[in-house]
């Protein structure tokens, strides 16, 4: 039997088959490395040479193990969430895993929300939502991996709350955790030479340690995938289209009862019952919205999916999951959230609406974020 070869950076067992799993290295690189006796996995290689961290995807079991490890440490836990997809970025049961450790909640991607959004209101909203799921963060900080000054503020907050301890950064995939850490590395000059990568004992999870000044470290933990995101039903190209890249320009629709909005062909919103009112859509500026009559909506979708209503594109439309309907009676100003796609704010209590999303994608209602 072949001997297991381990990455000299992180100790993960090297493999050449799955890019998303720990220890991946291209076959050619492995061969070359064996000649020189220095074999790194691709993740460590990139980290050393380009100061870039790549994500490694974990199984649920690996992730649970990792969370359990964290509870047994004496550290500050930094939980990164995506303010554009808060519901898709919470880690279920995190409060049970952190033990006595303080949690700093970081709302990333603030650059996507309208500039008029009051930061105080947003942090308060995040705090309330955290409390609802049992998490009691010591503080809530907003940030953007795209803005250097925001990262500096985050670093200050971490310094303030860590009290000389190690820092563990946790988050589900796609919240921007790697981007934040990459920014942090880049702004700490010369640090790449010091980076050590270590393992949780008894697991194959590699973790990146960025040294902090007093012999402690900021530790990046691999993220876990949330299954109920659009990422699982759309191709990479379409995902880029529906994921907003810059400040969202909200689109306001005055709708009468029995009108429908289509978001490309990936989501649908019906105004079922109530007086004429306004609905504000927070989705990628590149996603086209079509208005139609509720009674015509099914027919339009059947005919135009993949054509007028894109994404999905024509060649994908047959494999695209059917849209599933969720109905809501609005009691207070609320958002109807399409996981990973955006949300529609319904201002008027008393109306009845329905949200449709591809099978497997959550549609949910929450207290309005804006």
Residues forming contacts to ligand GDP in the complex (CB under 6 A) are 55, 108-109, 111-112, 144-146, 171, 173-179, 223, 245
Give the span between the Cα atoms of 173 and 79, in whole angstroms. 12
Strand order through the sheet with 363-367 = 251-255, 277-283, 342-346, 334-338, 363-367
The secondary structure element, H or E, covering residue 39 is none
Give 81 or 130: the residue with its C-beta nearer to ligand GDP: 81
Contact by Cβ (8 Å): 125, 367: yes
Give 173 or 207: the residue with its C-beta nearer to ligand GDP: 173
Give 116 or 214: the residue with its C-beta nearer to ligand GDP: 116
Contact by Cβ (8 Å): 111, 146: yes
For residue 183, the minimal CB distance to ligand GDP (Å) is 9
User: Which of 94, 125, 364, 75 minimizes the C-alpha distance to 223?
Assistant: 94
Give 177 or 305: the residue with its C-beta nearer to ligand GDP: 177
Give 88 or 176: the residue with its C-beta nearer to ligand GDP: 176
For residue 213, the minimal CB distance to ligand GDP (Å) is 25
For residue 89, the minimal CB distance to ligand GDP (Å) is 9
For residue 82, the minimal CB distance to ligand GDP (Å) is 8
For residue 152, the minimal CB distance to ligand GDP (Å) is 14
User: Which of 53, 47, 55, 46 minimizes the C-alpha distance to 22?
Assistant: 55
Task: List, as own/partner pairs, every contact residues 298-306 make where C-beta atoms lie below 8 angstroms and the sequence separation is at least 24, other chains included.
Answer: 300/262, 301/262, 301/265, 301/268, 304/265, 305/265, 306/265
């Amino acid at each position: 039997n072949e001997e297991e070869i381990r990455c000299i950076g992180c100790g993960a067992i090297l493999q050449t088959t799955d890019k998303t799993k720990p220890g991946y290295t291209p076959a050619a690189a492995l061969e070359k490395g064996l000649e020189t006796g220095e074999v790194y996995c691709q993740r460590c290689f990139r980290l050393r040479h380009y100061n870039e961290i790549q994500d490694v995807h974990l199984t649920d079991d690996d992730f649970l193990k990792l969370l359990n490890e964290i509870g047994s440490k004496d550290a500050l836990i930094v939980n990164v969430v995506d303010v554009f997809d808060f519901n898709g970025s919470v880690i279920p049961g995190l409060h049970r895993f952190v033990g006595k450790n303080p949690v700093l909640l970081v709302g990333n991607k603030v650059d996507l929300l309208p500039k008029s959004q009051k930061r105080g209101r947003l942090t308060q909203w995040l705090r309330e939502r955290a409390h609802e799921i049992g998490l009691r963060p010591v503080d809530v900080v907003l940030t953007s991996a795209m803005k250097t000054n925001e990262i500096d503020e985050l670093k200050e907050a971490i310094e303030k709350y860590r009290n000389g301890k190690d820092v563990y950064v946790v988050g589900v995939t796609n919240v921007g955790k790697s981007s934040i850490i990459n920014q942090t590395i880049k702004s700490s000059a010369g640090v790449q030479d010091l980076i050590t990568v270590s393992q949780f004992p008894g697991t194959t999870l590699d973790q990146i340690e960025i040294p902090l000044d007093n012999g402690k470290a900021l530790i990046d933990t691999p993220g876990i995938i949330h299954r109920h995101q659009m990422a699982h039903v759309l191709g990479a190209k379409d995902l880029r289209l529906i994921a907003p890249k810059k400040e969202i320009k909200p689109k306001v629709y005055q709708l009468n009862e029995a009108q429908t909005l289509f978001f490309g062909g990936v989501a649908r919103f019906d105004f079922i019952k109530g007086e004429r009112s306004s609905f504000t859509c927070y989705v990628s500026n590149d996603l086209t919205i079509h208005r139609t009559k509720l009674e015509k909506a099914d027919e339009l979708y059947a005919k135009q999916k993949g054509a007028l209503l894109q994404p999905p594109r024509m060649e994908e439309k047959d494999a695209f999951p059917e849209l599933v309907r969720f109905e809501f009676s609005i009691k207070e100003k609320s958002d109807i959230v399409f996981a990973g796609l955006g949300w529609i704010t319904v201002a008027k209590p008393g109306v009845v609406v329905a949200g449709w999303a591809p099978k497997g994608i959550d549609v949910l209602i929450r207290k309005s974020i804006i």
